Amino acid sequence: MATGALAGIAAIAIVVGAMIASGAAHVAGFATTGGAALLSAALWAATFLAVGLAEELFFRGYPQATLGATFGYWPAAIALSLLFGVLHSFNPGESIVGKSEVVVFGLFMCVALRRFGDLRWPIGFHAAWDWGQTYLFGVGDSGVVGAGALLHTEVAGPSFLSGGSAGPEATIFTPVMLGAIALGLVLSRSRRQTAQTLDR
């Protein structure tokens, strides 16, 4: 779970960094400091660990295993990821692009599940990705902006760069980042399988 969390926080930091580099966002300063910032960090960490556990268990846990056994892994993954996107569409501030990228995020989690064989890495990545958006950078997370962020990040410009009200998940940078990580996971799985075959 820890390696997934490290990957998640690094990924969202790179996405927000790309937004800043493109001129679509800038950090205006600290929104919360001192003990309040530490307390907020811990509360959001606990919140998003619960969110990561719940959403990964519901969308990539038993339903994925059961439907996958009947219809195949990827048909089940696509169906559950579409449902994942539909449920996020009720968030205030979510956009059509944002909903589409939530589906992409769900498919990315399925790639990670396939690579690691269990939900620990996906849960860690999911929780850290959300924590990075909401607490660390103070930007929208699927259309929702939380209170008590560490940084005050302002976004502006075209939505494909800024994400608009939906947040970084609706930028062009998110699918590129998730695609790059997914490719790395697939290639590392292939190398691992090749090594195991040669060891036999």
Averaged confidence pLDDT in the chain: 93
Residue 188's pLDDT band, with cuts at 50, 70 and 90, is confident
What per-residue confidence (pLDDT) applies to 148?
95
Residue 198's pLDDT band, with cuts at 50, 70 and 90, is very low
What per-residue confidence (pLDDT) applies to 143?
86
What per-residue confidence (pLDDT) applies to 125?
98
State phi, psi for 2 to the nearest 5 degrees. -65, -40
Q: Does 59 map to a domain?
A: yes
When pLDDT is averaged across residues 56-69 and rounded to a whole number, the result is 96
Expressed as residue numbers, the domain containing 177 is 2-193
Q: Does 97 map to a domain?
A: yes
When pLDDT is averaged across residues 42-58 and rounded to a whole number, the result is 97
Decide if 48 contacts 149 (C-beta within 8 A).
no
Neighbouring residues of 138: CB distance < 8 A, sequence distance ≥ 6: 31, 145, 146, 149, 150, 151, 152, 153
When pLDDT is averaged across residues 172-178 and rounded to a whole number, the result is 97
Decide if 106 contacts 179 (C-beta within 8 A).
no
Q: Does 198 map to a domain?
A: no
Would you say residue 172 has pLDDT above 70? yes
Q: Does 200 map to a domain?
A: no
- The four Cα atoms 9, 21, 97, 31 give a dihedral, to 10 degrees, of 60
Number of domains in the chain: 1
Taking each helix axis from N to C end, the angle separating 73-88 and 62-71, rounded to the nearest 10 degrees, works out to 140
10-to-116, 129, 136 alpha-carbon distances in Å: 19, 8, 12
